Amino acid sequence: MLDVSFIRDNQEKVKELLKTRAPKFPFDAFLALDAKRRAVQTELDGLRGQKNRKNDEISRVLKEKKDPKALIASMKEASQKIGALEAKAEEIEIKFREELLLIPNLPHESVKIGADSRANTEVSHRGDIPKFSFKPREHTEIGQTLGILDMARAAKITGSAFPLFWGTGSRLLRALVNFMLDRHAAHGYTEIWPPSLVNRASMTGTGQLPKFEEDLYRLKDDDLFLIPTAEVPVTNLHRDEILKEEDLPLKYTAYTPCFRREAGSYGKDTKGLVRVHQFDKVELVKFTKPEDSYKAHESLLKDAEKILDLLEIPYRVIQLSSGDMGFAAAKCYDIEAWAAGLGRWLEVSSVSNFEAFQARRANIRFKRKNSNKSEFVHTLNGSGLALPRVVIAILENNQNADGSVRVPEVLRPYLGGMAVIKK
């Protein structure tokens, strides 16, 4: 959530930046609503002041043993006006809050202004794209041949776009999760095992609500949501808390299953593991002081990249333009892994700095030493990594002509020394 005072003081700047962030948002109407909200509040404060003065007059008149009826009638009239105006003020405040929550974060000055992904910029490229003496197969064919992936039975059990792994496929996922968690924990991240269901306040705090409710799985009887990412429960660990400066930065990692309806994505990447409704992911979350967040952002990116380096997966880092970033991000990098069978790059991580946007929504603050004033922290997160597309990259980039798949060396200890996945 943006600071309302900042919006008022920088109306033209905010309006211009929203052209690529939220081109359909009725910004002028929002400003008019804010002006009306403030005018009603000023009127209400004036009436309350009048009522207090009349109260004082009544007390004085009673002390002087005079008749207070006229003053009492006047005060009752003022009270009625106040009651009606309070109801109006509450109605406007609710509407204002709803509109404010729909405004996305503004891009950092280092972010390229652009309407969509065509304005994105490649920052770096690591690893060599593998070459084969045969036509590389896609992961679905590899997985079926090896007996480790079965999308058809998953569809029978649940529906389309849900995965099912067998035997060594299941072990591969577990190996990836343990490897990633061990790596991140060894580099200063505290491991968290959070709930996979969260309440509406948690979803609002990180920015999924109210804008993206149709993309979420919701338990209507309890008004709880299946998490789309561990970012939600982990960031909300400190909702409505005031942290100590000496405790920052805080660094957390968590493995969770993730659930996304992808309501606006039907027909896109429906084959195999590229876009599924349930998937596993290891997440990284940081809480920092404002002046440290962009250094922490670059460090977070390196932590996510290192996983791909160790897995020997070719990848590239893309800095997203203003129009392609997520709703809550001020700056975002995507890490894309190469998938040889598909012959394309696949996003396996988004690494974002939200600055104070989420902290303001979730009321996460900190106090500096020798200060009584609290400030909003900056929050950051990145996938470290999302498993389905990492599995795609491992299967497709490491396939052999006989249908087997080489296991990256770093995973072999987690698979009992297995070097090759065979049928």
Provide the annotated active-site residues: 260, 275, 347, 350, 389
Q: Which two tokens stand for residue 214?
A: 């149709």
Handedness of CA 170, 173, 178, 179 (dihedral sign): positive
Question: Which amino acid, residue 59?
Answer: S
Task: Output the CA–CA distances (angstroms, integers) from residue 67 to 51, 61, 238, 267, in the order listed.
Answer: 18, 7, 57, 79
Tokens (6 digits) for 117: 């992904």
Terminal-to-terminal C-alpha distance of the chain: 52
Distance from C-alpha of 156 to C-alpha of 310, rounded to nearest angstrom: 36
Output the 3-class SS for 137-150: CCHHHHHHHHCCEC
Instruction: Tell whether omega for the bond before 385 is within 30 degrees of 0, i.e. cis.
Output: yes
Q: Confirm if 257 and 278 have CB atoms less than 8 A apart.
A: yes
Show the tokens assigned to 155. Answer: 């569809």
> Residues, the chain, total?
423
Q: Check the CA dihedral 408-168-304-115 and report its sign.
A: positive
State how far the Cα of 273 lies from the Cα of 337, in Å rounded to an integer: 14
Q: Can you tell me whether residue 194 is helix, strand or coil?
A: coil
> Edge-to-edge strand order for the sheet containing 250-259?
121-126, 315-319, 331-339, 344-353, 378-386, 278-288, 250-259, 190-192
Q: Which residues pair with 192 in a beta bridge?
A: 254
Identify the CA nearest to 269 among candidates 329, 205, 347.
347
Q: Which residues are CB-contacts of 19 (< 8 A; sequence separation ≥ 6)?
A: none
